[in-house]
Structure 1
Amino acid sequence: MNEDDLVRIQAIAEAALLAAGKPLSLEELRELFWEGERPARQVMEHAMAMVEKACEGRGFELKRVASGYRLQVREEFAPWVGRLFEEKPQRYSRALLETLALIAYRQPITRGEIEEIRGVTVSSNIIRTLLEREWVRVVGHRDVPGRPAMYATTKQFLDYFNLAGLDELPALSEVRDLEAIGREIEKKMQGEIELDVPSAEGEEADEQNLDESPSEQTIH
């Protein structure tokens, strides 16, 4: 395959990523071509490397996330680009971020296990929000009385937080408690979400302490 063919494949990939509005996998990009002209996987990977290089010094970049490749605004330009949108970023409570962090690091995990670690009940609204956003899903049921649902994260979770895999989450050795993990996850949001950390008196009404003086909960 000559250089002109590679440049054409690169251009087609760029056009597809701009039009798709979502990540595209390598196979989805290859499927854009007729069978007789479909580039080999290695050739397609080389073309994507060319796309990445072409983005250097530009206001956007090629990012590989769990679902594939996407073109996105570089993080450093988010403050300016954000002014195009009147809607304010959605605010998430510390309780939601801590629950999401536990699911991400301890999956599969049940609601009862989350409550045991956090020391407070988990609001039904939190679980519903995570399910509706498709950040978590039910992957089975624990073989204990009541058969509680077990939760795990999804590809949508990885895509939203700009991750290709769970191994890109901050290492547990670098964070000592749930609140710190919540802050680290928030950094992955690229300014899309604003963290709302309520005071002890401002916690959600349906989160009741399981212990009047719970000890500090940590993840080991």
Structure 2
Amino acid sequence: METNLKNIVEGALMAAGRPLNIKSLKALFEENSQPERGEILAVLQELQQESQGRGYEVVEVASGWRMQVRQGISTWINRLWDEKPARYSKALLETMALITYRQPITRGEIEEIRGVAVSSNIMKTLHEREWIRMLGHRDVPGRPAMYGTSKKFLDYFGLKTLEEMPTLMEIKEIGALNEDLDLEKEEKVDSEKASGNIKIKEDETK
């Protein structure tokens, strides 16, 4: 049963195209032959271990477990499709960052921090992608809606919990490093072009 269970779980993860939790995997079996939760978890952890060093990985995200292309090779795999990944405006990314790190937060509070109005299209896009959800209403006049991140947001970025997000300090340090790299790149671009040794920043290859 153990080998068979492993094959079934692996095949399900490969075919699903979305995260599967243990309850969903358990439901694949007849009621009188369902494996125990611990058995399924052990198989998932074994598959995760076996995927190390492969072109794919088995990871646990907010909604369950999934099989996905390893991040380090996504640049090449993306060339299989003509359609380019969606590009988002700076305003949308700033809004999403504030919701992520300041949740629960209202639209008015986002506007106060950013100093500009939040476009309705931005909120519509975030809702359509199901990256944000309404957490309730602020107990102030008008009772504005409070927003936070959703499980789909965590799934999209390969996270199990918000605790896995980089801290604001880490982001600030990365931003400062990128500024330094940009400055250095500008100063050396002519000589690098001549030698054919222009280095691509790591974040440009992902």
Query: Normalization by structure 1: what TM-score?
Result: 0.76
**Equivalent position of 1:67 in the other structure:** 63
Tell me the CA shift for residue 83 of structure 1.
0.7
In the alignment, does 2:28 pair up with 1:32?
Answer: yes
- 2:91 equivalent to 1:95: yes
Which residue does 2:139 correspond to in 1? 143
Matches within 5 A, 1:1-220: 5-176=1-172, 180=175, 191=206
Specify the code of the residue in structure 1 equivalent to 2:73. F
Give 1:94 shift: 1.4
Query: Residue 54 of structure 1: CA displacement?
Result: 2.6
Deviates more, 1:25-34 or 1:52-61: 52-61
CA distance in 2, matches of 1:46, 1:6: 10
What is the letter of the counterpart of residue 26 of structure 1? I
Task: Measure, in 1, the Cα distance between the counterparts of 2:97 and 2:149.
Answer: 10
Q: What is the alpha-carbon distance in structure 2 between the residues aligned to residue 49 and residue 144 of structure 1?
A: 47
- 3-state DSSP of counterpart to 1:122: coil
How far 1:56 moved relative to its partner? 2.7
* TM-score, length basis structure 2: 0.81
- Report the residue type matching 2:142 in the other structure: G
Higher relative CO (Cα under 8 Å, sequence separation at least 6) belongs to 1
Q: CA deviation at 1:125?
A: 1.0
Q: What percentage of residue pairs aligned between the two structures are identical?
A: 54
Cα deviation, residue 57, structure 1: 2.9
- What are the superposed Cα offsets for residues 103-129 of structure 1, whole Å, 9 maximum, x if unpaired? 111111101101111122111111111
Once superposed, what is the RMSD of the aligned Cα atoms?
2.2
Range with greater deviation from structure 2 (32-41 or 121-130)? 32-41
Please list every run of at least 4 consecutive aligned residues from structure 1 whose deviation after the TM superposition is greater than 3 angstroms: none
The structure whose residues are more often helix, as a share, is 2
Q: Distance in 2 between matches of 1:45 and 1:107?
A: 31
Separation in structure 2 between the aligned mates of residue 89 and residue 20 of structure 1, nearest angstrom: 21
- Give the match's secondary structure for 1:152: strand
**Which residue type is aligned with residue 81 of structure 1?**
I
| 1:128-185 alpha-carbon deviations (Å, 9 max, x no partner) | 11011110012222122222111111111111111111111111332349x95xx9xx
**Aligned twin of 1:213:** none
Confirm or deny: 8 A CA contact 1:7 1:47 kept in the other structure.
no
In structure 1, what is the Cα distance between the partners aligned to 2:49 and 2:144?
A: 48
- Range 108-117 or range 51-60, more displaced: 51-60
CA–CA separation in structure 2 for the residues paired with 1:35 and 1:54:
29
- What letter is aligned with 1:164? K
